[in-house]
A and B are shown apart, each in its own frame.
Chain A
Amino acid sequence: MSKDKGKTKEKDTGTREQFEKRVTRLGLSDDNLIGLYRTMCTVRQFEYMADRLYAGGKVHGTMHLSAGQEAVAAGISLAVHPDDYLINHHRGHGHFIAKGADINLMMAEFLGKDTGYNRGRGGSMHIADFQSNNLGANGIVGGGIPQAVGVGLALQMQKRKEICICIFGDGAANEGVFHEAMNMVALWKLPVLYICENNKYGMSMDVERATAKLPIAQRADAYGIPWACVDGNDVVEVYDAMKIAAEHVRSGKGPYFVETITYRYFGHSKSDRNLYRSKEEIEDWKQNRDPIMRFTKHLLQSEILDEGRAQEIDGQAEQVILKAVEFAEASPEPDLSTLMEFVYA
């Protein structure tokens, strides 16, 4: 894990020996590692299916896909507890899947069906599952950052052991509430783990053109919050950083801030023609820094998986997604007579 402040350049995930040493140090079992691989495959299958469904005219609304960013979701999820609280933003499919969401209900929500997590009222951008402490994705960039202060405050007042994980993008870090929230969360030493998923672009705006000083995570210094900036396409490095951060937060020492450098393959949303970045850049990330490819290489090298088993797991992930599509397509639309429901409790 890069604890060197300011260093953000991508790194090789290391030799076989380095990988195995690290995995041993972190106490990650083969099952853990295969689980990470499975999660990443499932997220990617979901996102590519979402894109296909959209291209096939089956999706009414918008979507924000996270293909390319799978290691962040998977790494966080293994490092925290299943009953920890999650607040995230519009590019949230991967976080939900990694947290163990019911993919049928996610897909149904994506297609606007009555069986979806939000009864078809929220869509891709607002999936929430209160039973599993997923407090919902926010469509206002940065809107959830200050709400995490309240979740952290309630956890502190109720003397509970869970923590709040709040995930947002590089664009959100330039909203005013980011600074209000960082100040208050540090002031009150609240159990909140803030994660900035820096995928290099806020819609079309390059993070380097939008941010006066990088890395974004160094802003935490101003509030006395410990931070790290890590390679978000190295799932073991993400896990390592999140483990340290989550333990710090859970021990009552206050918030922690982790920035993960990653990259999204699809455009910002359905209308994006990628005019602000080159095909070469996208291909470079896909060919040379893909999080699943890099991790698979290590799993094969260290003989945790063989080619056949790797393909089998990916195939199983695909099956899960296909079944979810089947479930969603067979589900009813919300009845028009229910339009006025849920305005007031």
Chain B
Amino acid sequence: MPEISYLEAIRQALWQEMKRDERVFLLGEDIGRYGGAFGLTHDMLDEFGPERVRETPISEATIVATAIGASLLGMRPVAEIMFMDFVMLALDQIANQAAKMHFMFGGHTTVPIVIRMPGGSGAGAASQHSQSLESVLMHFPGLKVVNPSTPYDAKGLMLASLRDPNPVCFVEHKVLYKTKGEVPEGDYTIPIGVADIKRPGHDITVVANNIMVMKTLNVAEKLSKDGIEVEVIDPRTLLPLDTETIINSVAHTGRLLVVHEACLTGGWAGEVIACVVGSPAFDYIDSPVRRLGGKDIPIPYNRGLEKFAIPQEADIEQEIRALVEGKI
């Protein structure tokens, strides 16, 4: 199986679907000749032309609104928001409009749009270009929030998102763009709303998303040598959240840690923990349930400060050891 990057996997999904379905088109800032701020849409303008790789002015709210309007007439638009932070400029169209139209109009219409948005820190982009806002988007029923961590998941989930009748916020991570993995060349989808057990284990369940999956897997590998077997769960979709897989895992391991880059307060870890402790898995819990999130600060510019604003492998290892060894 060919090994390609996370960025190429998403691009391949877009490319293949645009070949398959002429209703699919891209719109966003600098996605044409420039190839997108991160290069994800490189050479797509030459292949599909300016109608289907439609460059827009810097108008995030109207980019999303244009996608909504076109979808009402049967198109399948993919809007790119250059940095996830800029979603805030389009939040009315995402939260008040796209998320609610199917419901508010009595089920008589659908809004099949995909909004791509790279989030996350690690690129020295400072406070307004580095946030992880997926928890914000989880608060709007009607939206789907997809958040892949591997190239394989990224392609399969993008193809599923492009064929979903609902508005999908497709959350990417800048630091993951260059990571590589095996990705089938052909067509396949990964169902939205289904978590994946990235590593089985019996001592503790760690639920993590995007870049934290990679970090947790590294820690799990290390701890395995010390006899601690970590079960790593990647929700892959945050809304709707596959609580069943998580609850079953905790019932089996008896311990839970949730790790995300997003700020701790109001972060989705709280949602996961509330679901688990309110479930029958509560009876199997042997230690405090914990969460590890980004510090409650804006992301700083300085390399050292930026790094320590979010959980590192050493933090994850320390938390797991403390929980498994009964020190908390």
Residues of A within 8 A of B (CB): 85, 87, 116-122, 126, 128-130, 135-136, 138, 140, 143, 145-155, 157-158, 164, 176-177, 180-181, 183-184, 187, 341-345
Contacts and interface: CB of A to CB of B under 8 A. Distances in A.
Contacts of A183: 57, 59
Nearest to B64: A146
Contacts of A154: 69-70, 72-75
A120 B70 CA distance: 26
A143 B69 contact: no
A149 B69 contact: yes
A140 B72 contact: no
Nearest to A155: B73
A345 B110 contact: yes
Given A149-B66, A341-B107, A184 B102 contact: no
Given A118-B106, A136-B105, A143 B93 contact: yes
Given A118-B108, A176-B61, A177-B62, A343 B97 contact: no
A344 B142 contact: yes
B65 interface: yes
Given A119-B107, A128-B109, A143-B92, A343 B66 contact: no
Contact of A151 (B56, B72, B101, B107): B72
B77 interface: yes
B106 A150 contact: no
A343 B101 CA distance: 9
Q: How large is the interface on B (under 10, 10 to 19, 20 to 34, 35 or more residues)?
A: 35 or more
Given A150-B73, A177-B61, A184-B66, 6 more contacts: A126-B104, A129-B108, A143-B96, A148-B69, A149-B62, A149-B65
- Please list the 5 inter-chain residue pairs (A to B) with the smallest Cβ-Cβ separation, ordered nearest first: A150-B69, A146-B65, A119-B106, A118-B106, A154-B73
Most A Cβ at <10 Å: residue of B54, B105, B107, B112: B105
Interface string B256-270: 000000000000000
Interface of B: 25, 51, 54, 56-57, 59, 61-62, 65-75, 77, 92-93, 96-97, 101-110, 112, 141-142, 144, 165-166, 240
Nearest to A156: B51
A138 B96 CA distance: 10
Contacts of A149: 62, 65-66, 69
A341 B141 CA distance: 12
Given A151-B70, A158-B73, A128 B65 contact: no
Contacts of A126: 104-105
Contacts of A164: 69
B70 A150 contact: yes
Given A151-B72, A154-B74, A180-B59, A146 B93 contact: yes
Nearest to B71: A150
A180 B69 contact: no
Contacts of B77: 150
A184 B63 CA distance: 9
B106 A184 contact: no
A342 B65 contact: no
Contacts of A87: 69
Contact of A343 (B25, B74, B141): B141
B165 A128 contact: no
A135 B65 contact: no
B66 A150 contact: yes
A181 B62 contact: yes
A157 B69 contact: no
Most chain B CB atoms below 10 A, which of A85, A130, A151, A155: A151
